[in-house]
């Protein structure tokens, strides 16, 4: 998976959990949980959706890397290489 595909997957996963979120306005290093007022259940759903879409098992200890678009994309790219 390349970085562009990973960023798209992260944005799509956020949008599936928070349909009215303006993911196009997110900067790569924005903490999207804070910017989008994502509560813990929304974040858990995001992690589950991202795991399902990517086919990557995401452990609890991986979640601190999934707080920004950039960090999430880097995580996906690294795990798929």
**Residues 6-54 pLDDT 10s:** 999 999 999 999 999 999 999 999 999 999 999 999 999 999 999 999 9
pTM, rounded to two decimals = 0.93
Confidence of residue 65 (pLDDT cuts 50, 70, 90): very high
Helix axis angle for 69-79 and 40-54, nearest 10°, is 30
Separation of alpha carbons 20 and 29, rounded Å: 20
Separation of alpha carbons 45 and 34, rounded Å: 16
């Amino acid at each position: 998976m390349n970085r562009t595909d990973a960023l798209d997957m992260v944005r799509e996963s956020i949008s599936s959990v928070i349909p009215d979120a303006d993911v196009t306005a997110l900067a790569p290093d924005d903490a999207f949980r804070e910017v989008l007022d994502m509560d813990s259940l929304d974040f858990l759903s995001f992690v589950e959706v991202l795991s399902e879409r990517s086919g990557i098992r995401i452990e609890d200890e991986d979640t601190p890397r999934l707080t920004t678009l950039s960090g999430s994309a880097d995580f996906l790219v690294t795990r798929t290489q």
